[in-house]
Amino acid sequence: MSKRVKMGILGLVLVIPSFLLLFVTVVVPIFVSLKESLTNEEGGYDLSNYKFLFTDKLMRANIVFTLEVTVISVVIVLIVSYVLAAYMRFNKGRLVAWIRNMYMIPMFIPSVIATYGLIQLLGNHGWLSRWVLLLGGGDIPRIIFDIKGIIIAQLWFNIPFTTMLLGSAMSGVPDAVIESAKDVGAGRLRLFVRFILPLTYKTLLVAVTFVFMGVIGSFTAPFLLGPNAPQMLGVSMEQIFGVFQEKQQASALAFFTFMLCSVMGYFYIRSMIKDEGARSA
């Protein structure tokens, strides 16, 4: 047996445990959910559970609400994180050092604790409201227990991780490229469009994918900070399964959420394949 064949067999042996774990924990549940979602009340198979998702007024509102929260959160997270990463990459000083030391702290705070902290800070009788009254102000408008509360929580959860990803990409932008562009008269906008964005595009796409999937599948913050109706899909799924005991409808909602995430994953994988193909050519 040649050395090449032995190395190939060793590679397969090393990959098989990870593949089996992925198959058992991800692939099998997906197919089980799909089968369950196609099962009707009589035990047959049809699309009645998916029809319910798009014909029921409340479920349609939940889907629209989830997409709205997700898109708004992703856009704000990317803008804030990109600005922070670029500022830390191309600037120096005490403020930059302070941001570097502080921006990752939210990553080490459990989501339940962070959500409870937001309730204590931004609730109707929270610290912010008390300080405003102490300083002579009136009642502040409601900040949490609606779409704003969920988005604020998603910003808290996702900005540190996204900033870390984009900061790593920014560190790979050569100083020589930036200085050369400046020497020939390139302004900040041209620097960003022609050099910084293309060199960080792949990491930006990774960040979009992770944030999108994290927000659309979130449960803790939407459950504790969101409105009673409409609800995000994770909360709605728990209500359908745990309260109403509608297993088939919950499975349909779970598989639909998976398909939404798969769409984002498809564009990410497609972009990576194109980049690899361009490099090979």
Which of 186-195, 198-207, 209-218 has the largest mean confidence?
209-218
- Side-chain-facing half-sphere of 146: CA atoms under 13 Å: 5
Domain spans in the chain, listed from the N-terminal domain onward: 1-37, 52-280
* 200: CB partners within 8 A, 6+ apart: 166, 169, 170, 172, 173
- The predicted-structure confidence for 89-99, as pLDDT tens digits, reads as follows 888 888 888 88
CA distance 184 to 167: 26
3-state secondary structure string, 62-97? Answer: HHHHHHHHHHHHHHHHHHHHHHHHHHHHHCCCHHHH
8 Å CB contact between 107 and 160: yes
- pLDDT band, very low/low/confident/very high, at 243 (cuts 50, 70, 90): confident
Q: Looking at the predicted structure, is the pLDDT value of residue 279 above 80?
A: no
- pLDDT band, very low/low/confident/very high, at 197 (cuts 50, 70, 90): confident
Q: Looking at the predicted structure, is the pLDDT value of residue 276 above 70?
A: no
Q: What is the dihedral of CA 111, 225, 104, 166, to 10 degrees?
A: 110
Q: What's the pLDDT at 69?
A: 95
**52-280 topology per CATH:** MetI-like fold (1.10.3720)
Site of tokens 């979602």: 37
CA distance 207 to 77: 9
- pLDDT band, very low/low/confident/very high, at 280 (cuts 50, 70, 90): low
Q: What's the pLDDT at 25?
A: 87
